[in-house]
Amino acid sequence: MFKKTLIAGSFLALLSGCQSMLQTETQPISLLGNWKISAIMGQKTPNYSPAELIFAKDGKLSGNNSCNNFFGSYTQTGNHLKINLGGNTMKACVDELMAQEQLVSEVMPKIDSIKSDNNELLLQSASGKTLLTLSPAVE
């Protein structure tokens, strides 16, 4: 009888452990801070590119989209992300950075989710395509 009770108790303890593991949700990925845009739709940015995103605690977003500074806001729910661009400066740069800026501006409103890959953040579309790859900005 003692053996049956011990086996039943062990089985119940094992089941309750599995249940708590299933109920634990993954923590949302932290965006806070400065992130260098290291690739746009799979294309690496040039080393001299100033493109970066700065996520603040209060939902404000700012940064440089390759040539001009911009501001806006973001909403993060779990690992879903919505970016709303507010405005930006309007200066000209070298052609390569102007073309890169155009791509950044096009993809930011299409961002739907965040995925972490090693030390990088992948900002993806609703279909799972990586639109921006971010790496920690070196201060």
At residue 76, what are phi and psi to the nearest 5 degrees?
Answer: -115, 125
Residue 15 has pLDDT above 80, yes or no: no
Is 1 part of any domain?
A: no
Residues 132/39, Cβ–Cβ less than 8 Å: yes
Query: Could you give the CA distance from residue 127 to residue 121 in angstroms, rounded to a whole number?
Result: 17
Residue 55 has pLDDT above 80, yes or no: yes
Is 12 part of any domain?
A: no
Tell me how many domains the chain contains: 1
Sequence-ordered alpha helix ranges (H) in 24-129 = 95-107
Domain that holds residue 75: 33-136
CATH number where 66 lies: 2.40.128.270
Q: Three-class SS of residue 44? A: strand
Specify the DSSP class assigned to residue 91: -
Is 11 part of any domain?
A: no
Q: Give the model's pLDDT for residue 114.
A: 96
Q: Give the model's pLDDT for residue 27.
A: 77
